[in-house]
Amino acid sequence: MTNNKRKTGLFLVFLIALSFLLNIGKPVHAAEGDVIINETNFPDANFRSIVEQYDTDGDKILQVNELSVITVIDCKGGLVADEQKIADLKGIEHFTALEELNCSYNKLTSLDVSKNAALQNLICDFNQLTLLDISKNAALQNLICRYNQLVSLDVSNNSALQYLDCDSNQLSLLDVSNNAALQYLDCSSNQLTSIDVSNNVALLDLYCSNNQLSSLDVSKNVTLQNLNCSNNQIVSLDISQNAALEHLSCHRNQLTSLDISKNNALAYLYCANNQLSSLDVSKNVALLDLFCTNNQLSSLDVSNNVVLRNLSCFNNQLTSLDVKNNTELRWLGCGNNKLTSLDLSNNINLVANDEIDLSNQIYPTALFSTLNNNIYHFDLTSIPDLNIANITDVKQSDGNLLPEGVVYNKANGILTVDSSKKIKGITYDYDVKIGQNPLKRMDVTVNLAYRFNVSLNPNNGIESPQLIAEVKEGESYTYILPKLADCNFTTPAGEIFKAWEVNGIEKQPGDTVTVTEHTEIKALWEVATAPSESFEFEMLEKIVVWIMGSDQPASFTSSAEFTDFLYVLVDGKLVDETDYEVKEGSTIVSFKSRFLKALSEGQHPVEIVSKASGSSRGIGGAKGILDIRAQVASETVKVTPSSQPTKTLPRTGESSGLNQWLIVLLISAGGLLYVVRKKKVSKQ
């Protein structure tokens, strides 16, 4: 019995094996609408192996009922080995019910989805596609085709499109005017020179960075929340209509201004690498991140941004930065500015590490010196906002220690430099008071500008000089030597002014000198010989009358040579040169009416002082009287000399001399007529 059962079992096994052998090599027959899984229909072996996963009965045929339920195919290459990546997706056309296809990270050079009319989501990024035709995919809602080699993309028939990511291709044109439902658009890293999103009023996210855009109009995109237009050539950006904007990246453009006053929801602002000279963030109280590096900002007020966490303002021209209100600050980068001080004592949340970059601050103007006894003095307390108590170290700007002869006084902030030990500049370390990192310092470089003095010494160099100018070394200073009357010097007793001495060379008033180093211009005096009779110059009009209220000058004439004129005295006091004029005709001094009006009524001694001519030594004066009288109604404005009646005088307020001359003239004329008439009578 047992043997019979065994024989029966062996026979059945034999029949099964025989049946299998007889079927080997027979073709697989598919019903209409079925698709055989073979090399003809699916030539790519890697894709074919994925398709086999959808063969539920394992018969190597995708039957109609199997195809009708396949709505998603995920064949992305991902992290698989290169030889497992798909190079050809032929056969995808059989999946007519397909709604989602993910074939990213493969080696596709072409993709035909024209038969997949139900397709809603297509993800084909990170391939080698040069062409993508989606004109037949009207149901398409999401398209991700980034990181390919597409030179064109037509989405005009895809009106249902809501999400389009075509980042990192070679597109020079993109028309999204028919995609009114579009909410997300990323066309970054292409070759676009323009992008029109005026019809995309539902847009929430727009990424168009790394193109060649010179302008961008987002005025119609009032729901926009995220905008990245960085790395373009945009010269202006109007976001006043984008009140919902939360994230703005516009760095690496050519913006000279940016108005974000209407963007109260803004939390992230990245506007680095532009040409901004100002930035007002006072209305952006929700701001968390502010990156404005590499601009031309001279000031930045973040006092209203109390929730600010990250601030980067490298490479600007900031001279001050107040972050005491920004207690939530976690990271700060403000290097390469012009800060001279910084207080971080309130910023208790700052990360205590070296990523807080405060380095390389440069004081915007050179610190000028004063010079005293060949020692230059530089006062660091003159640097705005600097608390010298926080300076912990001072060294040369090249990093070396201060040399002998250069000393910094911590108590008063004075740096002294011996004239023989000049250094180019200093760098001081400033304690910014970070509690978490008490050793953190900000280094500030200050260039030193050495100045030389130009001064006048009133007495042969033996008195204290009067400073004229402090001049930066390397520059020149041009100066017109003054007349003595302009210097307010006291004339040494018994001496007269001889000349100015400039670097050992005698010069005269009015000469122009140019100096390039420390120079003390000395007044040289010489002993005056007592003037003799020959040095008493004649005043041609001894008395000049001037009527009060007149606008006419009063003039005196000295017999001295015009070139020998020194000065003029009234009431024994030196008269300022601006109160009179001197001209040739011997020496004519005309007092201006403004000076005359300041004098009191009565007689005022006048002396015109001149040098002796020729080989004679000394000075002499021509003396006269200035008679100032009150105005009388009958008087005319005339200046009349009381002596020298042959001279014509400037008009002041006196006319008596003129009347006398008129009488003499009338008498002379009458006498002449009498003589002529008498001769005529004699001839008759």
The full set of domain ranges for the chain reads 26-149, 155-317, 362-452, 453-527, 533-660
Among the listed residues 241, 244, 197, the one whose alpha carbon sits nearest the alpha carbon of residue 224: 244
Task: Read off the pLDDT of residues 642-671 as tens digits, 9 standing for 90 and up.
Answer: 433 333 333 333 444 444 545 445 555 555
Task: Read off the pLDDT of residues 199-242 as tens digits, 9 standing for 90 and up.
Answer: 999 999 999 999 999 999 999 999 999 999 999 999 999 999 99
Phi, psi angles (nearest 5°) of residue 672: -65, -45
d(CA 256, CA 247): 20
Q: Contacts for 457-465 with beta carbons within 8 Å, 24 or more apart?
A: 457/520, 457/521, 457/522, 457/523, 458/487, 458/489, 458/490, 458/523, 459/489, 459/492, 459/523, 459/525, 460/522, 460/523, 460/524, 460/525, 461/501, 461/520, 461/522, 465/520
Q: Which CATH architecture has domain 362-452?
A: Sandwich (2.60)
Q: Which residue has the higher pLDDT, 663 or 573?
A: 573
Structure tokens at 375: 């020692």
Q: Where does the pLDDT of residue 156 fall: very low under 50, low under 70, confident under 90, or very high at 90 and above? A: very high
Task: Read off the pLDDT of residues 32-82 as tens digits, 9 standing for 90 and up.
Answer: 889 999 999 999 999 999 999 999 999 999 999 999 999 999 999 988 888
Instruction: Tell me the pairing of strands 441-449 and 425-431.
Output: antiparallel
Q: Do domains 26-149 and 155-317 have the same CATH topology?
A: yes
Name 542's Cβ contacts closer than 8 Å, sequence gap at least 6: 624, 625, 641, 642, 643, 644
Helix, strand and coil content of the chain, in percent to the nearest 5, comes to: 15, 25, 60
Q: Which residue has the higher pLDDT, 496 or 513?
A: 513
Q: Pick 533-660's CATH classification: 2.60.40.10, 3.60.15.10, 3.40.190.10, 2.102.10.10.
A: 2.60.40.10
Structure tokens at 262: 């209407």
Q: Which one-letter DSSP state was computed for residue 66?
A: H
Structure tokens at 412: 């008063």
Among the listed residues 515, 508, 519, the one whose alpha carbon sits nearest the alpha carbon of residue 482: 508
Q: Which residue has the higher pLDDT, 658 or 401?
A: 401
Average pLDDT over residues 322-329: 96
Amino acid at the residue 453: N
First to last CA, the chain: 211
DSSP string, 454-518: EEEESSTT-SPPEEEEEEETTS-EEEEPPPGGGTTPPPPTTEEEEEEEETTEEE-TT-EEEESS-
Among the listed residues 257, 259, 182, the one whose alpha carbon sits nearest the alpha carbon of residue 221: 182
The strand order across the sheet containing 375-379 reads 370-372, 375-379, 414-418, 406-409
Q: What is the CA radius of gyration of the chain?
A: 51
Assigned CATH topology for domain 26-149: 3.80.10
Name 429's Cβ contacts closer than 8 Å, sequence gap at least 6: 391, 392, 393, 394, 441, 442, 443
Average pLDDT over residues 487-507: 80
Task: Read off the pLDDT of residues 582-632 as tens digits, 9 standing for 90 and up.
Answer: 988 788 889 998 998 999 999 999 998 888 765 455 678 889 999 999 887
Average pLDDT over residues 238-267: 98
Model confidence at 637: pLDDT above 90:
no
Which phi-psi region, left, alpha or beta, contains residue 147 (left: φ > 0; alpha: ψ -120 to 50)?
A: left
Model confidence at 684: pLDDT above 70:
no
- Whether 46 and 81 have beta carbons less than 8 Å apart is answered as no
Average pLDDT over residues 257-265: 98
Neighbours of 128 (CB within 10 A): 13
Residue 345: CA count within 13 A, CB half-sphere: 5
d(CA 370, CA 413): 14
Structure tokens at 357: 């970059």
d(CA 343, CA 431): 8
DSSP-based three-state secondary structure for 4: helix
Partners of 605 in beta bridges = 625
Average pLDDT over residues 17-40: 66
Of 26-30, 112-116, 468-472, give the range with the top mean pLDDT.
Answer: 112-116
Average pLDDT over residues 417-431: 93
Assigned CATH topology for domain 155-317: 3.80.10
- Whether 174 and 190 have beta carbons less than 8 Å apart is answered as yes
| Cα dist from 246 to 188, 194, 272, 282, whole Å | 19, 24, 17, 16
Of 169-173, 374-378, 419-423, give the range with the top mean pLDDT.
Answer: 169-173
Neighbours of 398 (CB within 10 A): 10
Name 390's Cβ contacts closer than 8 Å, sequence gap at least 6: 341, 430, 431, 432, 433
Element containing residue 672 per DSSP (H, E): helix 656-683
Among the listed residues 186, 146, 142, the one whose alpha carbon sits nearest the alpha carbon of residue 162: 142
DSSP-based three-state secondary structure for 682: helix
DSSP-based three-state secondary structure for 332: strand
Task: Read off the pLDDT of residues 285-303 as tens digits, 9 standing for 90 and up.
Answer: 999 999 999 999 999 999 9
d(CA 382, CA 367): 9
Q: Where does the pLDDT of residue 508 fall: very low under 50, low under 70, confident under 90, or very high at 90 and above? A: confident
Name 89's Cβ contacts closer than 8 Å, sequence gap at least 6: 44, 47, 75, 103, 108, 111, 112
Q: In the prediction, which pLDDT does 563 show?
A: 85
d(CA 602, CA 426): 67
Q: Which one-letter DSSP state was computed for residue 418?
A: E
What global pTM score does this model have?
0.69
Which phi-psi region, left, alpha or beta, contains residue 246 (left: φ > 0; alpha: ψ -120 to 50)?
A: alpha
Task: Please report the sign of the dihedral spanned by the C-alpha atoms of residue 137, residue 138, residue 144, residue 149.
Answer: positive
Model confidence at 9: pLDDT above 60:
no
Among the listed residues 482, 433, 437, 235, the one whose alpha carbon sits nearest the alpha carbon of residue 324: 433
| Cα dist from 644 to 329, 538, 547, 647, 657, whole Å | 93, 12, 20, 6, 11
d(CA 383, CA 341): 10
Model confidence at 128: pLDDT above 70:
yes
d(CA 232, CA 274): 11
d(CA 79, CA 408): 64
Structure tokens at 44: 């790519």
d(CA 376, CA 415): 8
Q: Which residue has the higher pLDDT, 552 or 642?
A: 552
Residue 659 burial (C-beta neighbours within 10 Å; 0-12, 13-18, 19+): exposed
Q: In the prediction, which pLDDT does 86 show?
A: 96
Q: Contacts for 510-514 with beta carbons within 8 Å, 24 or more apart?
A: 510/480, 510/481, 510/483, 511/480, 511/481, 512/478, 512/479, 512/480, 512/481, 513/478, 513/479, 513/481, 514/476, 514/477, 514/478, 514/479
